[in-house]
A = this chain, B = another copy of it.
């Protein structure tokens, strides 16, 4: 299952579902997707019998065949546009904190300990396994300030075949404890350069792992450090990720730390950190001038509703962002977020939008279709893979998950030994495909993610699943 192993031409038979547009799902009940040895989709057939497909594509007669099981369907792999691998062991631990005290109490001590290679091996291997098991085929990871373990995270993603942007975190201001920060601007830049070089050396094409410049967030960095990182991004043509405008105290802190800046977003703009390759996490409380700046720079937004709700940051006005034409994806933001699952994040995006709707009216609501778009095609745009992944179209690469749903037996289920083999989703048999998709979105979990492919390569399957 290593990312370097050869793959065979494969035809995926069965139902498939993907986003056609922001508001529309394309649901095909009887599909066939032909994927070549490079993982590229060569044909997509609809409403065709298996024998007709095999006849039409005679040169595929020796191709491997993968068939959907039971009530399932193929769905594009999820794209997680923002998460913190070293915070994985803190998942679910918030106590009564909000952002700034949460960082001090939980986050910095945990991240600091990830200088240890054995610990990082354990934590990062487990986390990559977790994200893959939830169907995440591409993930934008924050690591820590430590170069060796950041590089280890990239090694793990490459070995497991998960597409990743892997960022060594930069932070040189005294917001962070003295034991866990970059000693100087020069050392911060040298460390970042070193990690960028290493990651590019292990995957020169960048088709699986890519480096990403990662100033933690404005309060963690001196102005000199931010500017140097902006210059490094331009020099190395690298993606950039950071946080912006997450909660009120943080915004006030930025205003006090950068008194000459017009806004939080302007801090990044001044440092040349806003580009079409920039991923801004949260963006909960952006002002109109900040939004204009984001849009004119072509920067992207990672919406992290689970985190924003859990640490009471606020609810980002995603409807408004979409209407303004901004690019938006979803981010789990572990461990501000409490789950590594983008499916959970889809639900959280829906709930958060409904909270806004309670104040603002129904227009604020995000639909099932819209959150699935953000989780796939929207995310693809955020991480620079627009048109390459996120849908099933000829010429795109096959990043996909096989969703399987459980069927309720005739008798319901009799004894106390009930296990729910299909996970938490109950399909009674009369549901149409649209309803099956909705049941998956609202009740599904990793048990329904039977197998996962990246560029046509199998990168995860649940125990007992044959593909």
Contact = CB atoms under 8 A, between A and B. Distances in A.
Interface of A: 1, 88-89, 91-96, 121-127, 129-130, 132-133, 160, 309-310, 312, 314-315, 338-339, 347-348, 350-351, 354-355, 357-359, 362, 365, 367, 408-420, 424-426, 428, 435, 438-443, 445-446, 458-463
15 contacts: A91-B439, A92-B425, A92-B439, A93-B435, A121-B411, A121-B412, A122-B408, A122-B412, A123-B428, A133-B418, A309-B354, A312-B354, A312-B362, A312-B365, A314-B358
Contacts of A347: 338
A362 B428 CA distance: 43
Best-buried of A359, A365, A418, A420 by chain B (most CB within 10 Å) = A418
Contacts of A350: 310
Given A123-B412, A417-B462, 17 more contacts: A1-B415, A91-B439, A92-B443, A93-B435, A93-B439, A121-B411, A122-B408, A125-B413, A129-B412, A129-B418, A130-B420, A130-B426, A312-B358, A312-B365, A315-B358, A351-B351, A416-B458
Contact of A445 (B416, B425, B441, B445): B445
A100 to B, nearest CB: 14
B92 A442 contact: yes
A16 B405 CA distance: 34
A121 B412 CA distance: 7
- The count of identical subunits is 2
Contacts of A359: 359
Contacts of A420: 130, 133, 446
B439 A124 contact: no
A129 B413 contact: yes
B315 A438 contact: no
A338 B416 contact: no
B424 A339 contact: yes
A70 B27 CA distance: 44
Given A339-B424, A439-B91, A442-B92, A160 B129 contact: no
A137 B439 CA distance: 25
Contacts of A410: 122
Which 9 A/B pairs are nearest by Cβ-Cβ distance?
A125-B412, A92-B442, A126-B412, A129-B418, A92-B439, A419-B463, A338-B442, A122-B412, A1-B416
Contact of A92 (B93, B438, B460): B438
A125 B416 contact: no
Contacts of A442: 91-94, 310, 338-339
A96 B412 contact: no
A411 B125 contact: yes
Contact of A357 (B312, B358, B362, B461): B312
Contacts of A358: 312, 314-315
A460 B129 contact: no
Nearest to A348: B351
B408 A339 contact: no
Contact of A426 (B91, B309, B435): B91
